């Protein structure tokens, strides 16, 4: 097992890159929706045809994290409607996840899975683990149903994320999965907005195509 892990990390080097296939991983979980412990694996989500949104965060019982969890909870059903599962991951154990969700009122409406990466295996896989302090950076990753990493963003500890933008990226990915000859411009928000169709005719004519 250790040798397989070393070989895998040698291939990946400093974390997975956009466009690469994400290898399977399995995590113990705390699941606030039923108050029970469980398990989640990327293989199972892939078999179910789901998109996967992974949200790494530094630690339970911290401060910016509580605001992020509340903001993500407000958008969770929108992610699910797009066929995605959200997994929030830190290096805390499932027991600490339970205690934090139970005690912190900002997490009262959290229903998404809380993954326990106490060995830091998955955190290292995605390149968000800080070897100096044992905490994860604020990494956000979107994985397609065929396990391709399509989006990656990493923030430092003191900057909370905008999950409306993460949701916009997921909407764009689900749209582009069905319209692979198109591209979504910067201000694209949802299906029906103008897209671009790359071709020789579009060169130097982007403004005209969008206005």
Residue 84 within a domain: yes
3-state helix, strand, coil in the chain (%, to 5): 35, 25, 40
Whether residue 52 is contained in a domain is answered as yes
Is there a domain that residue 193 lies in? no
Tokens of 23: 């290898």
Cα–Cα distance, 78 to 37 (Å, whole number):
24
Phi, psi for 90 (deg, rounded to 5): -140, 180
Q: Which residues of the chain have pLDDT under 50?
A: 1-3, 5, 9-10, 12
pLDDT of residue 5: 47
Q: Which domain holds residue 110?
A: 2-161
CA dihedral 131, 134, 140, 142 (to 10 degrees): 80
Catalytically active residues are 65
The CATH number for 118's domain is 3.40.30.10
Q: Which residues face 140 on adjacent strands?
A: 55, 153
Write down the pTM of the prediction. Answer: 0.92
- Residue 195 is assigned to a structural domain of this protein: no
Residue with tokens 């582009």: 176
Q: How many angstroms separate the CA atoms of 72 and 55, rounded?
A: 10
Question: Does 120 fall in a domain?
Answer: yes
- Residue tagged 């398990």 (tokens): 39
Question: How many independent structural domains does the chain possess?
Answer: 1
């Amino acid at each position: 097992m250790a040798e397989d892990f070393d070989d895998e990390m040698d291939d990946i080097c400093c974390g997975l890159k956009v466009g690469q296939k994400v290898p399977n991983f399995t995590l113990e979980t705390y699941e606030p929706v039923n108050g029970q412990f469980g398990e989640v694996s990327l293989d199972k989500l892939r078999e179910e045809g789901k998109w996967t949104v992974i949200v790494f965060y530094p630690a339970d019982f911290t401060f910016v994290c509580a605001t992020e969890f509340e903001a993500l909870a407000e958008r969770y059903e929108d992610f699910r409607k797009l066929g995605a599962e959200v997994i929030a991951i830190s290096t805390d154990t499932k027991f600490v996840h339970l205690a934090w969700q139970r005690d912190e009122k900002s997490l009262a409406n959290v229903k998404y899975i809380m993954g326990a990466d106490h060995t830091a295996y998955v955190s290292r896989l995605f390149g968000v683990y800080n070897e100096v302090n044992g905490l994860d950076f604020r990494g956000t990753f979107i994985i397609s149903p065929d396990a391709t990493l399509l989006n990656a963003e990493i923030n430092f500890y003191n900057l909370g994320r905008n999950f409306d933008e993460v949701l916009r990226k997921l909407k764009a990915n689900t749209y582009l999965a069905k319209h692979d000859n198109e591209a979504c411009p910067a201000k694209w928000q949802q299906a029906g907005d103008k897209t671009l169709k790359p071709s020789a005719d579009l060169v130097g004519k982007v403004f005209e195509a969008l206005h």
